[in-house]
Amino acid sequence: MEQEKMVEELAQIVGKENVLSSETDLMLYGYDASLFRGKPDCIVLPGSTEEVSKIVKFAHANMIHVVGRGSGTNLSGGTVPTKGGIVLHFSRMNKTLEIDIENQRAVVEPGVFTLLLKNQLARYGYVYQPDPASEKVSTFGGNFGENSGGPHCLKYGVTTNHILGAEIVLYDGEVIQIGGKALDNPGYDLTGILVGSEGTLGIATKLILRIMPKPEAVKTMLAIYNSLEDAGKTVSAIIADGIVPATLEMLDRLTIKAVEESIHAGFPLDAEAVLLIELDGLNDGMERLAERIMEICKKNNAREVKAAKSEAERAQLWAGRKGAFGAVARLRPNYLVCDGTVPRTKLPEVLSKVVEVGKKYKLAIANVFHAGDGNLHPLILFDERNEEELRKVHLAGSEILKLCADAGGTISGEHGIGTEKMKEMFFVFTPRDIAAMRKVKKAFDPEDVYNPGKVLPETEEPLSA
Amino acid sequence: MAKTDKLISTLKEIVGEASIIRDPDKLRAYALDGKQPKVAIFPGKIEEASKVIAYANQQHLAIIPMGSGSKMGIGGIPEKMDIVLSTRRFNRITDCDSDNLTLSVESGITLNEVQKHLAKEGSGYFLPLDPPYTDKATLGGIVATNSSGPRRLLYGTARDMITGIKAVFPNGDIVVSGGKTVKNVSGYDMCKLLIGSFGTLGILYEMTFKLLPLPEKEATLLIPFVNRDEVNGFVHEVIHSEFIPASIETLNVVAVKKIKYPVSMPANGNYLIAIGLEGISEGIERQVSGLSNMGKRHGALEAVTLSSEKHHAFWIAIRDFPQDLREDYPNLISLRSNFLISKWGEILRNYEKIAQGSGSDYAFICHSGNGILYSYILPEKNLRSKIGSLIETIEKLKSEAVKNEGNLVVESSPLSIKKKVDVWGQSRSDSQIMHRLKEQIDPAAILNPGRFVGGI
């Protein structure tokens, strides 16, 4: 369909002012936080589930693709309209519909920023546990699509453990309710299969979240190391001692440098690595656990361990961790962040291999990661205007993912496959595994309306009947 | 019969003669809802299971997967029943990596055996699952039925613990989803689809779980109450407080009488709250005294604390309540209602009213922090005359749950009732997409046909 006609028809549904199609708009909504670029046919900003349903119905009837978008902070190209189509942008559907403390649930529209809800909940002494680093600006719709993680995953699980239901618009515009505020609704776990499906199976127009009372106490510690390996060993040692902290994050020297220059979190510039450790729960016994942790750090050659003495100090330490990605922009204009995950005990060995990859391709790599759950984020630094560097960066990234897969891990811990890691899917899956996933796609979206060309790679081998 | 002979000879080729039961007398033990399979097989390797399933797919033969059979009664009456596929020989621990807090096991191993093994590993670990059938239940069956117990309040259910699954799909494909890592968003989360799918999408072969270190200390508080409003008030305060109980169970008098643990309830007590606590020693001590005092403020009668063996024995009795009860009441009807957390007191009140009107005894056990209530109807001798009114009662109980954004599942009942009710409760707007999933994954409808939601 011609763009002009498309815009006209969509304007009938959402109003002229909510359909964007200028060249600038097409460029602005053609990229996300990855290195990929695309170009949509137009961008639509719906204001209600009904509008979303009508838009999708229209798209389906006219064989136009639909790509959902929150804030576009996606790191693997999941939000990039690589095959054109309509970008369905949820910035107008940004209301917190309900904070239901009595039933320990919150209901939000997909465009609500994660941190915004968390701040609203704080007034009631309640929390939503997942804390992706992008939470200031990333949306629940995006969290839903990517199954976002964050530092608290070690103890509390990921987004899928905290989304209990949703209102979904299917490929033909049909609206269904899945899951709910109540637990254990009979049938398949549709919420579970949809979370992390990267906008390829259905679009959420309402999300039902699990919320809980804020833990009574929290203790945040910073352990400082002269070797990356010692920090890695500490992580395993803490878990082996029977302690499961709320978070266990690691930053390396290069990252610390960038962070201190921009955020001044109090990380020492001459450290090879720092570990940010946090305990939460009841006050009773926390001091004892914290001491045990500090002992383990020292046993593994931490040169210093300090505990945050106030909420302000704690916030400062976390600002350093959460601002890490943004801070490395000071070092080089672009980064490619890898999202490989390995079993925790393999961290030290994989880390040293990552360093080797950096040397091999002569690329600087800053390391930030969720050490507690083995989710690495090597940030390969470069300048995308340098074509040769860009080429090497992709090779290095792929090699790092292979390392992770070979170490018994996986290629994406939380950022998604998108378009970026489709070819690497074969590092961890066989064509038969992909075929099984494709059946799910066929069930939900038989005509490939939603976010085509993402997640599932093409398989050439003949598939069994 | 030529067809059956061909079937038997093909199966013999795949699994070996010793792993087949074809004698009709012996097959009676594998009957379900009045139907009997043509053969029961016990594959020893996943490749054998794969070949059998591929063959069944071609021949449109219905396969009924089975672990120890503890939960075979749940679900609708099977449309067809040709082959019972037992996972009994898939009973190994394939990878116990306590340093990484992961465990991989084959689906036919019992949870009990796994827990015993884990307790002895290093400084001691466990799988935070406490479903019924403590001795018998296999992990495959537990995961396929999404079976859980009181400690789900703190630890969640299978979907919160599984990081990877290897399953045989209806076309015979061996499919892997997830893996060993806690974080994994590579591709679709097929594990979630398989968990609780009642063997209708694939047969679980191997699963990887997250482990936890054994808690430092455990204790139980048993707090009796006279008055339901007081119980409600107490539970309300607990769940919104900073306390982190592992479980909060409410039992009515009938449940207290029938549970296989000697609970001493004061004569005027009508409800018993059992709170399970586990974690750091100082935290447990604080919560025991804190919750006792809180209970008193809400009008509780004398509380009792249990620890060590008594604590463990009590929770096994709670977990195994349905199977213990069925030994005394073979015609037991057990129902699971789910609903909004805050409505449990109101729903219990309405259920009690309905129970009084029905003339039968009802045992109620409620996961009061989760919004899940188990109702056990103890039917009198002459069941046949009561069927009509029992069905009417079940409908009333269901609509009460549905009114509160939930549903009701008939988990076990005599066949005469199963034939007349939809055991899976009210159907919802997501029913059609579930059918589409089943059609794509199992187009020949060979796995457990007719037993799941919506007649899947």
Shortest CA gap B62–chain A (Å): 17
pLDDT tens for B139-182 read 999 999 999 999 999 999 999 999 999 999 999 999 999 999 98
Write down the pLDDT at residue B1. Answer: 64
Q: How high does pLDDT run on average in chain B?
A: 96
Domains in chain B, please, with CATH? 2-86 (3.30.43.10), 93-213 (3.30.465.10), 217-300 (3.30.70.3450), 321-418 (3.30.70.600)
| Mean local confidence (pLDDT), A98-104 | 98
pLDDT band at A461 (very low <50, low <70, confident <90, very high): low
Q: Cβ contact (<8 Å) for B181 and A149? A: no
* Chain A residues close to B191, C-beta within 8 Å: 192
Write down the pLDDT at residue A14. Answer: 98
SS (H, E, C) A133-166: CCCCCCEHHHHHHHCCCCCCHHHHCCHHHCEEEE
Q: B447 — phi, psi (to 5°)?
A: -90, 115
Report the residue of A153, A174, A183 to disrupt the B interface, i.e. the one with the largest count of B CBs within 10 Å.
A183
User: Under a CB-based contact definition with an 8 Å cutoff, are residues B409 and B424 in contact?
Assistant: yes
User: Under a CB-based contact definition with an 8 Å cutoff, are residues A316 and A265 in contact?
Assistant: yes
Domain A215-316, what fold?
Answer: Alpha-Beta Plaits (3.30.70)
pLDDT tens for A216-248 read 999 999 999 999 889 999 999 999 899 999 999
Q: Where in chain A is the domain with CATH 3.30.43.10?
A: 3-89
Q: Cβ contact (<8 Å) for B189 and A193? A: yes
Tokens encoding A403: 């390392």
Tokens encoding B78: 């099977």
Comparing CB atoms, the residue among A161, A201, A412 nearest residue B185 is A412
Q: Cβ contact (<8 Å) for A188 and B193? A: yes
Q: B20 — phi, psi (to 5°)?
A: -130, 140
Q: Where in chain A is the domain with CATH 3.30.70.2740?
A: 332-447
Q: Closest-CA residue in chain A for B456? A: A187
Write down the pLDDT at residue A340. Answer: 92
| Mean local confidence (pLDDT), A195-211 | 98
CATH numeric code, A3-89:
3.30.43.10
Helix (H, G, I), strand (E, B) or coil at B447: strand
Question: Does residue A465 surpass a pLDDT of 70?
Answer: no
Give the residue, A330 or B177, on which the prediction is more confident: B177
Shortest CA gap B168–chain A (Å): 11
Per-residue pLDDT of chain B (456 residues; tens, 9 = 90+): 678 899 999 999 999 999 999 999 999 999 999 999 999 999 999 999 999 999 999 999 999 999 999 999 999 999 999 999 999 999 999 999 999 999 999 999 999 999 999 999 999 999 999 999 999 999 999 999 999 999 999 999 999 999 999 999 999 999 999 999 989 999 999 999 999 999 999 999 999 999 999 999 999 999 999 999 999 999 999 999 999 999 999 999 999 999 999 998 999 999 999 999 999 999 999 999 999 999 999 999 999 999 999 999 999 999 999 999 999 998 999 999 999 999 999 999 999 999 998 888 999 999 999 999 999 999 877 777 788 999 999 999 999 999 999 999 999 999 999 999 999 999 999 999 999 999 999 999 999 999 999 999
* Chain A residues close to B213, C-beta within 8 Å: 242-244
Q: Which CATH number fits domain A332-447: 3.20.20.70, 1.20.140.10, 3.10.105.10, 3.30.70.2740?
A: 3.30.70.2740
Write down the pLDDT at residue B384. Answer: 74
pLDDT tens for A360-402 read 999 999 998 889 989 999 999 999 899 999 999 999 999 999 9
CATH numeric code, A96-213:
3.30.465.10
pLDDT band at A415 (very low <50, low <70, confident <90, very high): very high
| Mean local confidence (pLDDT), A320-347 | 88
pTM (predicted TM-score): 0.96
Residue A44 and residue A56: Cα distance in Å, rounded?
11
Sheet of A334-337: strand order equals A302-307, A217-225, A273-281, A247-252, A365-370, A375-382, A334-337
ipTM of the complex: 0.97
Residue A69 and residue A139: Cα distance in Å, rounded?
9
A249 touches B: beta carbon within 8 Å: no
